[in-house]
Amino acid sequence: MAEELNVKEILEQILDHLMPELTIYETTMYFYLFRHSHLTNNSDSVRVDPRTMAVQLGKRMGKQIDHRYLASILKSLEEKKCIRTADVSREGTSYTVILPEDIPSVADKMAEAAMFRDEEEDYFTDAEKRKIIFERDNWTCQYCFEKVTPENVELDHYIPPSRDGKSNKENLETCCSVCSGIKSGRSYVEVAPLLLKNMGERKKREES
């Protein structure tokens, strides 16, 4: 694979989001295939004979695994879109191992968890996170649409903290120091006429 895997991140995704979707045998099978594909061969696929796999897994689990039961586990993993079965040859069957972020049910859970983290994160006081908002808004005041600079840029809560507005990405807007002074902790609805008036006056000054 051309792209190097972040193994720690993938293992966290497996443990936190994929394993609750799998039985203990499905989890063991997924880890087996993951190890022999992504980790050992630096590839998303591995070719292995199911009978050989049943013997190897049986030794690790301390009990004999019938290859027909193994086939049912592989089928279940495929139905859950954790693996894809490809061609069969004398050397065995080729299995493509899907990473957690590409498994639909897991991807949904990861997106939900990320959304929750964003809701809790403070983008107002952290300098690096403030910069993320400025870049998201293209260093443009979201009220008067004038370009801002590091010298006159401010972050404004669209819904004020006094009204339970959060300091997450969704509730923060890039604004210039002039618009920030006008808004002054009030809601946008309350100060919209004042912001529009200021835009008109600023335009007149520029034209004169």
Helix orientation angle between 67-79 and 24-34, rounded to the nearest 10 degrees: 80
Residues 6+ apart with CB under 8 A from 136: 169, 174
Q: Which DSSP category does 67 fall into? A: H
> Based on the domain organization, do 99 and 127 belong to the same domain?
no
Judge whether 2 lies within some domain: no
C-alpha dihedral sign at 20, 26, 32, 33: negative
Domain of 160: which CATH number?
1.10.30.50
Q: Could you tell me the residue range of the domain that residue 56 belongs to?
A: 7-105
Write out the chain's pLDDT in tens, 208 residues.
Answer: 446 788 888 998 999 889 999 998 899 899 999 999 999 989 999 999 888 888 888 777 777 888 788 889 999 999 999 999 988 888 899 999 999 999 999 988 888 877 666 566 889 988 899 999 999 999 999 999 999 999 999 999 988 888 888 888 889 999 999 999 999 888 888 888 888 888 888 888 877 7
pTM of the entire predicted model: 0.56
Total structural domains in the chain? Answer: 2
SS3 163: helix
> Based on the domain organization, do 130 and 81 belong to the same domain?
no
Across 10-19, b (16+ Cβ under 10 Å) vs e yields beebbeebbb
> Based on the domain organization, do 198 and 128 belong to the same domain?
yes
> Based on the domain organization, do 70 and 137 belong to the same domain?
no
